[in-house]
Structure 1
Amino acid sequence: MTAVSPLRFCRRVVPQFVRDRRGNISMLFAIALVPILAFIGAGIDYSRVNAARTSMQGALDSAALMLSRDLSQGTITASDVPAKASAYFKALYTSADAQNVTVNVSYTASTSSSPSNIQLSASGQIVTQFMKIVGFPTMDFGVKGTTTWGDVKMRVALALDNTGSMASSGKMTALQNAVAGSGGLIDQLSGLAKTPGDVYISVVPFAKVVNVGASNYSQSWLDWTDWQNPPTIQPNNGSYQAAIPNTKLTQAQWDMVGPGSACPFTSGNGYYFGCVSGPTSGSASTSTIPKTGDANAGQVCPGYDSASHSYYNGCWTTAKTSTVVTYCTGSSCKCSNGANESCSCTGTSGTSGYTCKVNTYTKTWVANAFSSWTGCVADRTQPNDATAVSPVASDVKTLFPTNQHMENNTQYCSSTATTKLAQIVPLSYSWSSLKSAVNAMQPTGGTNQAIGLAWAVQSLIPNGVLGAPSEDANTTYNRVIILLSDGLNTEDRWPEYGNGSSQASGNPIDARQALLCSNLKNTKDSKGNSMYTIYTIQVNTSSPADPTSTVLQNCASSPDKFYMLTSSSQIVTTFNSIGTALSKLRVAR
C-alpha cells in the first residue's frame, strides 16, 4: 500500500467535507479539522526541531573541544581555525532533517590578562510537514558553544602505596613504568603545559607513615609530643603503651632502678619494649642498666616498641637521692647477686646483724635532639587525622607527629636504610626530578592509605606545609588526587587499630579514612564546585584475592573513578586512561 503524506490527505479530504450537504455536523467537523491538525502537526514539527538542535549542540561542543585541543597542542594555527571548525562540525553533525546548515567561528588568542577563547555558532532549518498548513513552511534553529583554555591549571597529587607487598607480582615496576616511564602519566600531563606552572605534580609515597624529610626538623608544623615523652599513655594510644610506673612496677621498685639494675621492662611483664644501652635509636639491646664507668652510666633507655613499630627518643637519667637501710634475717634479703649498684649487704646472712643498704634514685627524662629525627610523621591527633585543616602552632592537634618508625628491623625513613621509604616530593614541574623520585621508590612496611591521602591533600594546599604555589583568583584550578594501593589497611598511629597484618574488629582504620574521604569530597571551592577530584585504584593480585576495598571504592569522586585491577599489567593502562581523562579536563571547560 502506497503511503499518503498528511498534507496530501488533508487536501483530498477537506474539499469532500466542504461539498457534503448531508448534515451540518460534517461542515463543523471540516472547519475544526484544520486547527486540530495544525496543533498536532506543530508538536511533531517542534519535536523534529528540538532533536535537530540537540544533535547540533553536541556536535558544536565536540568541535569546540577538538579545536581547543589542536590549538593548545600546536597542531593548527589561528588561520586554520575556520576551515578546521567547518570540517569537524560537518563530520559530527549528520542530521537528515536539517537544511541550509552554517557554522561560524571566532577565535581569540590568550593575552597576559585573558585566556584563549573559541566561540562557535551554528544554524539551520527544517522543512515542516504540518506547520506549512498555517503558513510556516520552514522552522529555523541555532546553537552556540564556547570553550576557554589557558586559564585552567592542573595540580595532581599522586598518593602511591610503597608497602612491602608492592614487591610481589611486579607491581612496583609496573607502577613506576605507568607514572615515570616513556609515555607514562608524567609525560602525558607535562605535554599539556604550554608554560611552566600550567601543570604541577606531587608524589606522596606512603606505608604506615610518610617521610617528609629529616631536614624539616625545625618546622613549626611538627608535633614533638610523642618524641619528647617517655613511654606513657599518649593521646589516643590506649593500652598498648605502658605508664611508668604501672601495675607491674611499683613506685618503690621504679625508684630503686639505677646503675647495674636489671632492665625493668620485658615484653612478658606488660611492656612491648625492653632496654637499650644508650639514647640513640640504633643502640644495642641490654638486660641491665649501664653501670658506673660504662658509657651512658645509669641511663634507663627504653628501646624499640613492637606495638607501635617505633623507637622512643631519649632516656631517664638517674641521680642517687637516699639510702634506705633494711635489717634482714634469713637468706631472702640479698642484692641481685651483687650486680645491682643500688643495693649492698653486710654482715652474716640469717643474723640480726645482716644489713642491706638500698639506694633510691630520682629520674629525669631527657629526649634526644630533634635533629636526630629521620623524617617520618604519623597520623595527626584525632579528629584532624580526617581533615585537611592547616596546622596552627598554638593548637597541637593540628600539627603532624614526628615518629621514629621501624618495622621488619628497618628504620624506613633513615637515610642509611637499605629499603628506604621515599620522601614526599612537593608540587613540581621538574619532570625529570619527579621521574627520578618515582623510580627510586622501594617497597617497605604496612598499609595506611589514609596518611597517604592526607598528605596528598596537604601537597595541594597553597602556601601550605609543603610549599604549594599560591593560586590566582582569576584562574581555574583542577586539583586531582590519585590514590593507589595494593592491599587493605593494616596499621596506623594507633596500635590497637591494627598490628601490621590485619585491622581490629570493626575496621577502625578504614573508618578514619572514610571520614577523611567524606570531608574531602564535601569540600567546595569559592564557586561551589568540588575542590578535589579523587581517583582511587585497588591492585588486587593476592591469592586468594582480597575483597573489594569499600573505603577505596567510596572515596572516589564518582563510581567511574574507582578502578579494580587484578594484574600488574593493568596499572599502565589504567594510568594512561586517567591521563587521557585529565587531558580533556585540562584542555577546556
Structure 2
Amino acid sequence: MITGIALLLIACAAMTVLDFTNNNSRQTKLQDILDAATLAAARVGGDDDEAIKQAGDDYLKAHLPEGVYKHLVVTFTPDDKTVRATATADIDPYFLNMFMGGPVDIAVDSEVTRQMDGSLEVALVLDVTLSMAGSKIDALQDAAEALVKKITKVKDADVKVGVVPFSNYVNVGVSNRNEPWVSGAADKVWTTTTPEGCHPDVTQSTYCVKWAPNYSCTKYNDGVPYQTTCSGACTQTKTDYYDPPKKGSCWKESTTTHTAKWSGCVGSPAYPGNVQDKASNVYPAKFGSCAPELAPLTDKLGPVESAIKSLKAGGNTYIPGGLAWGWNLLSPTAPFTEAAAYDPKNKKPRKALVLMTDGANTMYVDASGNHVYVGDGKPAPQADKYTAELCENIKKQKIEVYTVAFQIDIPSAHEMLAKCATSPGHYFKADSSEELLAAFEAIAKSLENLRITR
C-alpha cells in the first residue's frame, strides 16, 4: 500500500511538472508572437493609430495557434515613439484542471521603441516627368527633404541616402563617361554640307483667309489626358498670282559643324539584364536631355539635399529605369559600390527603396536601349512587365520597397504600385500635397529602427 501511494505521489508530481512546463511554454509562445505582432504594428509608421493596431491584429490572426488561448484580449497602444501591447488569455492545463477547477490565467506585454541608431541605406526613386511640373514638384521636394532630415537627425546614426530622379532616362553623371558600365558616351562631332542652289521663282502664293471656330479637345501630358482648346481648321483659302514672278533667292555651298555633348543620360541593357542586378550590365549612353543627375548613397546631408533641390520636371514616364538605378545604388556591386553587403535578414544594414510616381508607364524600350513614347492614351505593357519583375527581384534581396502614388487616377497604376510594395502598409496613396508629405513622414517613421524594450 505504501508503495502504491508513493507511486501515485510520484505520478502526480510528474504530471504537475509537465503541466507547469507546458503552461510556461504556452506563455513564452504567446510572448514571442506578441513581440512579433508589436514589431509588425510599429513598422506601419505614421500617425494612423487604427492602421497600426490593425497590422498587429492581422499578424496575431495569422500566427496564433487555434484553440490554445481562450478568452484572448490584446490591446495595442501606439504613440509617437513606441507601440505598447498587452495580451491576456486562459489556458487549460492537462492534469491540474481537476484540482484547480478551471483554466490558468496568463498575461504578457511588449513594447517596441522607434529609434535611429542602426545601419540604414535608403534610395529615393523620384518621378520628375513633365506631369510633375509646377506645385507637384515643389511638394515632392518638401516631402523628400522632410524624410531625409528625419532619418538623419541622430548625429551618430549610420544612415546613407541616395536619390534617383527619373523620367524618360536616368542621369548617371558625365563624370562616369569612361566607366566600363557605360557605352558610347564620347561627345559627337560631325559636319553637314549644303550644296549651292537657288529657290525657284514664285508665281503664286496660297494662304488661309477663313478659319473654323476653336473647339474643346483632349491633349496629353506624359500620358495624362487633359482638356484644352484647339484651333479650328482652315475652311477657305486665297491664291495670289505674280506676273512677272518673284525672283527666287540663291546661296553658296556651306559646311556646318555640329556637336552633341553627352549629358549623363543612359538607356537600358537588353532583357533580362535590365531587370536584374548584374555587375556585367552595360548601359548605352543617350544624347539629349533627361532627369537631373542622381546622387549615389552617402552619409553626407549636403549632396542629398542638393540633389532634391535640383529636381525639375520634364520628359515621360519609364519607371523600370528609376527602379533599376535605385537598386543599383543599394547593391554592393558595380556600377555604384557605396552600399554595404546584403544582410539576409535586412538588419545590418537595413535597405529600403522608396518609389514615388504620379502616373503610369508611358514608354517602352527598343532593341537599342532607347526609351520610346508609346503614344497618347496608350498603355505600356512591356514597361509594366519590367516594373513588376524589378519589384519582385528587388524584394527577393530583402530590400524593403515603399511605393507612393501621387495624384494618380489610373486604377491599373495603383494596382501595379500596390503589388510592388513589400506589404499593404508599404503602399501609400496621396491625392494632395499634404497627403504626399504625410506619406513621406510615415515612411520616415517606419524606417526608424525598431527595438523590443519590454
- Counterpart residue identity of residue 536, structure 1: T
Match of 2:136 among 171, 177, 183: 171
Map 1:299-378 → 2, pairs under 5 A: 372-378=261-267
Are 1:481 and 1:533, in contact at CA under 8 Å, matched by a contact in 2?
A: yes
SS at match of 1:476: coil
- Counterpart residue identity of residue 140, structure 2: L
1:429 paired with 2:299, answer yes
Match of 1:189 among 151, 165, 168: 151
Match of 1:211 among 171, 174, 178: 171
SS at match of 1:403: coil
SS at match of 1:560: helix
TM-score (norm 1): 0.48
Are 1:450 and 1:516, in contact at CA under 8 Å, matched by a contact in 2?
A: yes
2:410 alignment partner in structure 1: 546
1:567 alignment partner in structure 2: 432
With over 3 angstroms needed to count, the CA separation of the structure-2 counterparts of 1:568 and 1:138, relative to structure 1, is closer
SS at match of 1:295: strand
1:442 alignment partner in structure 2: 312
Counterparts of 1:462 and 1:382 in 2: how far apart (Å)? 22
Are 2:194 and 2:254, in contact at CA under 8 Å, matched by a contact in 1?
A: no
1:130 alignment partner in structure 2: 97
Map 1:46-445 → 2, pairs under 5 A: 52-53=27-28, 56-57=31-32, 95=88, 130=97, 132=99, 152-167=118-133, 170-180=135-145, 184-192=146-154, 194-195=156-157, 198-224=158-184, 259-260=195-196, 294-296=254-256, 372-391=261-280, 398-405=281-288, 412-413=289-290, 421-445=291-315
Match of 2:374 among 485, 491, 499: 499
Map 1:570-585 → 2, pairs under 5 A: 570-585=435-450
Are 1:209 and 1:378, in contact at CA under 8 Å, matched by a contact in 2?
A: yes
- Counterpart residue identity of residue 188, structure 1: K
TM-score (norm 2): 0.60
Are 2:400 and 2:422, in contact at CA under 8 Å, matched by a contact in 1?
A: yes
SS at match of 1:427: strand
Aligned pairs, how many?
A: 337
Deviation of 1:216 after TM superposition, in Å, equals: 1.9
2:421 alignment partner in structure 1: 556
1:516 alignment partner in structure 2: 390
Deviation of 1:93 after TM superposition, in Å, equals: 5.1
The structure having more radius of gyration, on CA atoms, is: 1
With over 3 angstroms needed to count, the CA separation of the structure-2 counterparts of 1:186 and 1:141, relative to structure 1, is closer
Query: For residues 110-150 of structure 1, what are the alpha-carbon distances to aligned partners after superposition, in whole Å with 9 as ceiling and x for unaligned?
Result: xxxxxxxxxxxxxxxx9x9735469x999999999999x99
- The CA RMSD over aligned residues, in Å, is 4.9
- Counterpart residue identity of residue 130, structure 1: N
- Counterpart residue identity of residue 356, structure 2: L
With over 3 angstroms needed to count, the CA separation of the structure-2 counterparts of 1:521 and 1:140, relative to structure 1, is closer
Are 1:177 and 1:572, in contact at CA under 8 Å, matched by a contact in 2?
A: yes
With over 3 angstroms needed to count, the CA separation of the structure-2 counterparts of 1:511 and 1:226, relative to structure 1, is farther
Deviation of 1:554 after TM superposition, in Å, equals: 1.7
Are 1:482 and 1:536, in contact at CA under 8 Å, matched by a contact in 2?
A: yes
Gaps of 5+ in 2: 1-15, 41-81, 199-250
Counterparts of 1:185 and 1:511 in 2: how far apart (Å)? 30
With over 3 angstroms needed to count, the CA separation of the structure-2 counterparts of 1:516 and 1:191, relative to structure 1, is same
Are 1:152 and 1:586, in contact at CA under 8 Å, matched by a contact in 2?
A: no
- Counterpart residue identity of residue 410, structure 2: D
Counterparts of 1:161 and 1:185 in 2: how far apart (Å)? 16
With over 3 angstroms needed to count, the CA separation of the structure-2 counterparts of 1:577 and 1:192, relative to structure 1, is same
Counterparts of 1:215 and 1:568 in 2: how far apart (Å)? 35
1:453 paired with 2:312, answer no
Counterparts of 2:173 and 2:195 in 1: how far apart (Å)? 37
Are 2:88 and 2:108, in contact at CA under 8 Å, matched by a contact in 1?
A: no
Gaps of 5+ in 1: 1-40, 66-88, 99-125, 231-256, 263-290, 300-313, 315-367, 392-397, 406-411, 414-420, 524-529
Deviation of 1:559 after TM superposition, in Å, equals: 2.6
Map 1:467-506 → 2, pairs under 5 A: 467-471=337-341, 476-494=348-366, 498-499=373-374, 501-503=376-378
Counterparts of 2:340 and 2:266 in 1: how far apart (Å)? 25
With over 3 angstroms needed to count, the CA separation of the structure-2 counterparts of 1:52 and 1:161, relative to structure 1, is same
Are 2:125 and 2:166, in contact at CA under 8 Å, matched by a contact in 1?
A: yes
Query: For residues 224-258 of structure 1, what are the alpha-carbon distances to aligned partners after superposition, in whole Å with 9 as ceiling and x for unaligned?
Result: 2999899xxxxxxxxxxxxxxxxxxxxxxxxxx98
- Counterpart residue identity of residue 119, structure 2: K
SS at match of 2:363: coil
With over 3 angstroms needed to count, the CA separation of the structure-2 counterparts of 1:47 and 1:555, relative to structure 1, is same
With over 3 angstroms needed to count, the CA separation of the structure-2 counterparts of 1:383 and 1:260, relative to structure 1, is farther
Query: For residues 134-178 of structure 1, what are the alpha-carbon distances to aligned partners after superposition, in whole Å with 9 as ceiling and x for unaligned?
Result: 9x999999999999x99951110000000111125x322221111
Query: Which fold has the larger relative contact order, with Cα–Cα distance below 8 Å and residues 6 or more apart in sequence?
Result: 2
Percent identity reads: 25
Query: For residues 286-337 of structure 1, what are the alpha-carbon distances to aligned partners after superposition, in whole Å with 9 as ceiling and x for unaligned?
Result: xxxxx975233xx8xxxxxxxxxxxxxx7xxxxxxxxxxxxxxxxxxxxxxx
Counterparts of 1:487 and 1:63 in 2: how far apart (Å)? 34
With over 3 angstroms needed to count, the CA separation of the structure-2 counterparts of 1:48 and 1:445, relative to structure 1, is same
Query: For residues 459-509 of structure 1, what are the alpha-carbon distances to aligned partners after superposition, in whole Å with 9 as ceiling and x for unaligned?
Result: 1122522331444989822111111100111114437964364445x6222
Deviation of 1:430 after TM superposition, in Å, equals: 1.4
Counterparts of 1:146 and 1:585 in 2: how far apart (Å)? 6
Deviation of 1:260 after TM superposition, in Å, equals: 4.9
With over 3 angstroms needed to count, the CA separation of the structure-2 counterparts of 1:537 and 1:206, relative to structure 1, is same
More strand by share: 2
Are 2:196 and 2:254, in contact at CA under 8 Å, matched by a contact in 1?
A: no
Deviation of 1:522 after TM superposition, in Å, equals: 2.9
Are 2:85 and 2:109, in contact at CA under 8 Å, matched by a contact in 1?
A: no
